Structure 1
Amino acid sequence: MAGSSLAVGVMGVAAVVAVGLTGVPAAAVAGQRLAGAADAAALAAADAASGAATGVPCERAEQTAAAWGARVTECGLDGLVATVSVAVQLGPISARASARAGPPS
């Protein structure tokens, strides 16, 4: 009987660990996607600031981030260099990423 109880306990712990780890790859993918959204939004803002694309830089960043399913939380320009922060809600957690784009120094 004691061996059976131990086996059931070990199986229960293994099941809990397995279920807990299934979210790790999904979070990694979401993080990479969010970083891509930040990069794309910063590039869009920098292109608009330099005249390579039409529009207002931060508005272009917002449109680009929205296409990736994210929202811009901060957008700033320093000359032709754009710095953009984006966020996305992942269940109860708000994930954030930032990127900077502009011409080479």
Structure 2
Amino acid sequence: MTSERGSATVWVLTLSAVLVTVAAAAVLVGLAMVARHRAGTAADLAALAAAGRAVVGDPDPCAAAAEIAEANGAQLSGCRLEPGSVVTVEVRVAVPLGRLGEHEGVGRARAGPVPP
């Protein structure tokens, strides 16, 4: 019995370390998911704004996309106007992860008028 004295402390410390690691991983996954959803939302809104401008003949609908993306905390990284006033955009949202550095969530969207 004396050879097992203090073994519960070791088990508790080990289990605590495992739980902290799992919790940290869950937080990182949650941050990544939130960034991805923010990027997707910003991309959707930017594409809709650009398509709305393209339909009325604005010569630079990507400027509207950049403005809307920035207002939603994203950076417009790509914008392409296709025939028929269809706009495709790509945005990036920065995800600061402390000591792990800064990563990006990417969102892409396409918008345009519905064909008759």
The answer for the alignment partner of 1:98 in structure 2 is: 108
| Distance across 2 between alignment mates of 1:88 and 1:22 | 17
Aligned to 1:40: 45
Runs of 4+ residues deviating >6 angstroms: none
Measured after TM superposition, the shift of residue 23 of structure 1 is 2.8
Q: How far apart are the structure 1 equivalents of 2:28 and 2:47? A: 28
> What SS is found at the alignment partner of 1:104?
coil
1:74 to partner: Cα distance:
0.7
Query: What residue number does 1:15 align with?
Result: 20
Identify if the C-alpha distance between structure 1 residues 94 and 29 changes in structure 2 by more than 3 Å, giving closer, same or farther.
closer
Whichever residue aligns with residue 93 of structure 2, its letter is V
> Structure 2: any 5+ residue segments left out of the alignment?
1-5, 97-101
Query: Which amino acid in 1 is paired with 2:87?
Result: A
Q: 2:69 aligns with which of 34, 52, 65?
A: 65
Identify the residue that residue 49 of structure 1 maps to in structure 2: 54
Consecutive unaligned residues of structure 1, counting only runs of 5 or more, are none
Q: Report the TM-score when normalising by structure 1.
A: 0.87
* 1:86 and 2:98 matched: no
Select the structure of larger CA radius of gyration: 2
Residue 3 of structure 1, CA deviation: 2.7
The CA RMSD measured in Å over matched residues stands at: 1.7
Q: Structure 1: which amino acid aligns with 2:111?
A: A
How many residues align? The count is 104
Kept in 1: contact 2:32–2:105 (CA 8 A): no
Paired letter, 2:105: A
* Cα displacement (A) at 1:43: 0.6
CA distance in 1, matches of 2:75, 2:63: 11
| 1:31-63, Cα deviation, whole Å (9 max, x unpaired) | 1111010001001110111018x6720101011
